[in-house]
Amino acid sequence: MFEVLTPLAPDPILGLSVAYNEDSHPHKIDLGVGVYKDEQGNTPILKAVVKAQHKLLAAEKSKTYISPQGHQGYIDGMLTLLLSEKSQALRSNRVAAVQAPGGCGALRILAELIARANKNAKVWVSDPTWANHIPLIGSAGLEIQTYPYFDKATASINFDAMMDTLRQCTKGDVVLLHGCCHNPTGADLTNAQWDEVLQVAKEREFVPFLDVAYLGFGDGLNEDAYGIRLLTDNLPEVLIAASCSKNFGLYRERVGLAAIITKDTANKQIVQGQIQSVARGIYSMPPSYGGALVDMILNDEQLKHEWITEVDEMRNRMKSLRAMLVDQLAANGADRDFSFVNSQKGMFSFLCITPEQVREIRSQHSVYFVESSRVNIAGINKQNVKTLAKALVSVIK
């Protein structure tokens, strides 16, 4: 049977990791895979997570399945974090949600739910978007279209073109929006631009689909939630896929949330049953461990405060790394202005160099990142930033 299968091209990011590991260069630099790294290049376990692990170990009495929707404390805590305690959708009991195996799991569950509701729905994604959006959503059988988002020539959002395209959406279309810290570009909508998106969503009656993977890494937990809260407070239907991989550092625990803002409580009950049915058909029961940890952190004031402090520290460090890189590029004689890197947010930046230049910096200087020019800012540190800046300047002159 399997002899009919043909080889697939290697995943570009996973392939980079293999190449990096095989490189013997003593000063190689990995800016590919999107994980947070500290100054020593390690991906740390957050202190709040360590404390929650100890509490869970002492309190857990069984390894039986948890409920099909997941830990209710986790769901409630995440919804409050994303939507706020003042959320009209929460107060009016219009939110259906399940704990999912990571942000990827949440995206796929919601894509399957869309297909159940309208198999002919178009899903609009930004150009560019995170590469895995396409297979995760497209594999549910949904048609995918793109809207303009980022202009490499100006290193900025092409907002007019984006809005012109969104005005072509029809009722029932779904528009995927990055809640904050856009992956791969790091270029985020302003609050005023989110306001315009809301107006077009009302006019065209499309359904926003928010991917929230980096809450707190842009300007702050509440600041980063502006667009999320604006849309969920003012539209009848919104989809949210959230991840705890980055801001809780729970990459390998695969902790996510799939949530749907519904028109009313009666519809919420129907959607809750449908989304649990989707999950049942994919993985049956959700994993417990990571969700239990987030539940403990978000519902314990001391642990929550410690976690927020750690998120603030990670965000501020990444901002300082951006400034450091921009300064070093200028100091090494870069013949173009890279100050746009300072205005980008979160873990990633688009350097706006060519694929040929990316390949050259990899082959000549052992600096690894994807050909789109997306770099993981958290892979930079005080020890490698000068080497990185010199290498970049050498290939762009």
Which residue of the set 97, 213, 242, 389 is catalytic? 213
Q: What angle do CA 240, 152, 195 make, to 5 degrees?
A: 40
Question: Cα separation of 68 and 65, whole Å?
Answer: 8
Alpha helices by DSSP H, 159-288 = 159-166, 191-204, 221-224, 226-234, 265-282
Residue 194 annotated to the active site: no
Residue with tokens 């706020």: 84
Which residue of the set 124, 130, 194, 307 is catalytic? 130
Element housing 99 (H / E): strand 95-101
Question: Cα separation of 296 and 301, whole Å?
Answer: 9
Which residue of the set 30, 173, 188, 211 is catalytic? 211
Closest to 43 measured CA to CA, from 184, 253, 308, 335: 253
Residue 211 annotated to the active site: yes
Question: Cα separation of 310 and 38, whole Å?
Answer: 12
DSSP state of 212: E
Which residue of the set 51, 246, 268, 345 is catalytic? 246
Strands 255-261 and 174-178, bridge-based pairing: unpaired
Contact yes or no for 257/211 (Cβ under 8 A): no
Contact yes or no for 317/37 (Cβ under 8 A): no
**Which tokens is 54 given?**
């100890």
DSSP assignment of 318-338: HHHHHHHHHHHHHHTT-SS--
Contact yes or no for 204/167 (Cβ under 8 A): yes
Closest to 221 measured CA to CA, from 232, 231, 209, 229: 229
Contact yes or no for 193/159 (Cβ under 8 A): yes
Residue 171 annotated to the active site: no
HSE-CB at 3 with a 13 A cutoff on CA atoms is 1
Q: Per-residue b/e over 282-307, b at no fewer than 16 CB within 10 Å?
A: eeeebbbebbbbbbbbbebeebbebb
Question: Cα separation of 294 and 278, whole Å?
Answer: 23
Question: Cα separation of 332 and 309, whole Å?
Answer: 35
**Which tokens is 284 given?**
């049956």
Q: Give the residue numbers annotated as catalytic, written as ranges.
A: 130, 211, 213, 246
